[in-house]
Amino acid sequence: MANSPYSTPPSSYRSHSGGSARTPILVIGVLLLLSAALFVLVTRPALRDSEPPATAGEDAPAESTPAGGESAEVPPEQDPAATEGADQSPERELSGRDPALVLEAAALALQQGDVDAFMDVLGPGLFDATAIRGLETLFGSGEFGIDPAQATSQLGRTPTIQRWALNLTHRSDPETSPRLEIDFALQPDRSWLPSRFLLPETPEQQRQAHTIDAESGALEVARAFLDAVLIQDFPAARRLVDRTRVNDATLAGLCILFEEGAFKLREDNPLVATVANDSVAWFLAQVVSEELETESRFGMVLHRDEGSPWIINEINPERILSVYASRFGDGDVYYTPLVRNPQGGDSLVLFFGFDDAVIHPRTLRQIEIVSEVLMSDPTRELKISGHTDARGSAEYNMALSKERADAVRETLIQFGVEPEQVKIEGHGATRPRRANFNPDGTDNPEGRRVNRRAEIFLDF
């Protein structure tokens, strides 16, 4: 045993310059290495080719998830569920799939004039007798079709609801463009299924697809509010807000922003809930303006008590206001329709050129909206305060500030407001919004531009 190679320490064994005991071991080692190489070169590619392709399920690699965060879908021709039996209906094939894909199939059915197939795709149980009659009326005549420019759009979403639209167009009147709205609800298995169908009965009702009541969800209320603001329907917008928290100036300012800035809701996810539970919902309204070549957004907070309808109790327009002011500043005249009032809430504000009290053409629409508010209730009164920058004497500035407030009052009267509904006061340069001078005592032209104004506080 003492002479056995297995009893010799490895270091001692490797130091031998020869010996017959080492040769068989080397030969065996070489053969093993050759076998391993042969396995890698020949057998492994065959194994790799025999592996099944990855599918886009929960265990799919990250590459299978497209931008936007939605799970990638298996095309119908690759979906095993689509071929498991001959009795698969469109509803069963699409159940739980991406809402966008469901609506693509639904739009295709309507393009072919097949209302029954359309209902099968979304689920026949989604449609009551009124909805079925409405669909048959819309598509039985052949006057309406799917909008070729944009068949579908997502109107908004919360963590548990997605609202989509199928956009229609009248074949002989492109300006008539109602939409079919479909809600998708999140299921316990994380799939999305159609849960509600909304069919406007007339083109006018398509702006507000249904009546808001205690059963309406936060998404419905937020969307109805935006629809009202988009067409400057001030009374409709006011009905959806808590007027102890959101004053008329804020609503009027939003109407002005949307009209003058030509803002529209973004077609993709215009209304997104960042927080949503049974009593509170926070939404971001995302808007675009082709005229200003910009995008912006503003926030809304909705609240409800148990058994009560959702209501908007906070609006945060600061970002869209900043975009608007930066684009609409006109030479010597500063411009933004809303400012924060020191007493709380917002005020409409009208700006003037240096040393004048002439109403700027851009402010006429603001004054017109205020006149509509006042004329809706003749018992209401408002106060207009006039202001100046710090150039000139105190006496001169006081007179100029009153002149500016009176110019606004006279314009309101021209729009039909009763004279006794409007009171005015002048404050000269005593209530600046911005500093008239820089910290080193030099002139601040930008600050003075902001201070040449008249304010209307619509807190009745």
**CATH (domain of 372):** 3.30.1330.60
pTM attached to this predicted model: 0.58
Please say if the pLDDT value at position 26 is more than 60: no
Residue 455 vs residue 337, higher pLDDT: 455
pLDDT band of 30, cuts 50, 70, 90: very low
Pairing of strands 382-387, 422-426: parallel
Q: Which of 12-16, 88-92, 277-281 has the lowest mean pLDDT?
A: 12-16
For residues 149 and 155, the answer to whether their CB atoms sit within 8 Å is no
Quick one: angle between helices 115-122 and 99-111, nearest 10?
170
Shared domain for 181 and 217, answered yes or no, is no
Which one-letter amino acid corresponds to residue 59? D
Shared domain for 383 and 432, answered yes or no, is yes
Shared domain for 444 and 335, answered yes or no, is yes
Q: Which of 156, 183, 203 is the last residue of a domain?
A: 203
**Which residues, listed in sequence order, are joined to residue 146 by a DSSP beta bridge?**
168
Helical residues (DSSP H) of 9-76, grouped into ranges: 10-14, 22-38, 44-49
In a domain, 447, yes or no: yes
Instruction: Indicate the number of domains in the chain.
Output: 3
At 249-288, the pLDDT tens digits run 888 888 888 877 788 888 777 888 888 888 999 999 988 8
Across 341-444, the runs of DSSP E, i.e. the strands, are 346-351, 382-387, 422-426
Q: How far is CA 395 from CA 359, 428, 430, in A?
A: 22, 8, 12
6-21 average pLDDT score: 37
Residue 84 vs residue 253, higher pLDDT: 253
Shared domain for 343 and 421, answered yes or no, is yes
- What are the residues whose beta carbons fall under 8 Å from the beta carbon of 259, sequence distance 6 or more? 232, 365
For residues 452 and 353, the answer to whether their CB atoms sit within 8 Å is yes
Shared domain for 240 and 128, answered yes or no, is no
At 375-405, the pLDDT tens digits run 877 888 888 999 999 999 999 999 999 999 9
Please say if the pLDDT value at position 57 is more than 60: no
CB burial of 151-173 (b: ≥16 within 10 Å; e: otherwise) equals bbbbbbbbeebbbbbbbbbeeee
Burial of 377 (0-12, 13-18, 19+ CB in 10 A): exposed
pLDDT band of 80, cuts 50, 70, 90: very low
3-class secondary structure, 270: coil
Shared domain for 218 and 100, answered yes or no, is no
pLDDT band of 51, cuts 50, 70, 90: very low
Shared domain for 320 and 364, answered yes or no, is no
Q: CATH number of the domain at 289, please.
A: 3.10.450.50
In a domain, 107, yes or no: yes
Shared domain for 440 and 344, answered yes or no, is yes
Q: Which of 60-64, 83-87, 283-287, 405-409 has the lowest mean pLDDT?
A: 60-64
Please say if the pLDDT value at position 111 is more than 80: yes
Quick one: angle between helices 394-414 and 364-375, nearest 10?
60
In a domain, 322, yes or no: yes
Position 211 scores a pLDDT of 60
Position 328 scores a pLDDT of 60
Shared domain for 382 and 450, answered yes or no, is yes
Shared domain for 364 and 398, answered yes or no, is yes
Q: Which of 328, 345, 372 is the last residue of a domain?
A: 328
Q: Which of 86-90, 281-285, 329-333 has the lowest mean pLDDT?
A: 86-90
**Which residues, listed in sequence order, are joined to residue 269 by a DSSP beta bridge?**
none
Residue 2 vs residue 229, higher pLDDT: 229
Please say if the pLDDT value at position 53 is more than 50: no
Whats the size of the chain, residue-wise? Answer: 460
Q: HSE on the CB side for 84, CA within 13 Å? A: 5
Shared domain for 102 and 144, answered yes or no, is yes
Shared domain for 367 and 302, answered yes or no, is no
Q: Which two tokens stand for residue 295?
A: 């995008």
In a domain, 308, yes or no: yes
**Structural domain that includes position 282:** 211-328
For residues 73 and 192, the answer to whether their CB atoms sit within 8 Å is no
DSSP 41: I
Q: Which two tokens stand for residue 300?
A: 């809304």
pLDDT band of 367, cuts 50, 70, 90: confident
CA–CA separation, 397 and 392 (whole Å): 6
Q: Which of 282, 311, 328 is the last residue of a domain?
A: 328
In a domain, 167, yes or no: yes
Q: Which two tokens stand for residue 365?
A: 């629409």
pLDDT band of 332, cuts 50, 70, 90: low
Which one-letter amino acid corresponds to residue 232? Q
Please say if the pLDDT value at position 37 is more than 80: no
In a domain, 74, yes or no: no
DSSP 40: I
3-class secondary structure, 276: strand
In a domain, 22, yes or no: no
* C-alpha gyration radius of the chain: 35
In a domain, 71, yes or no: no
Residue 344 vs residue 239, higher pLDDT: 239
Residue 263 vs residue 87, higher pLDDT: 263
- Short-list 203, 266, 201, 200, CA closest to 230: 266
Q: Find the angle CA(372)-CA(288)-CA(458) to the nearest 5 degrees.
A: 25
Using the structure block, give the residue that is written with the tokens 């100029």. Answer: 400
Q: CATH number of the domain at 116, please.
A: 3.10.450
DSSP 330: B
Average per-residue pLDDT for the chain: 74
67-73 average pLDDT score: 31
Position 384 scores a pLDDT of 92
304-317 average pLDDT score: 89
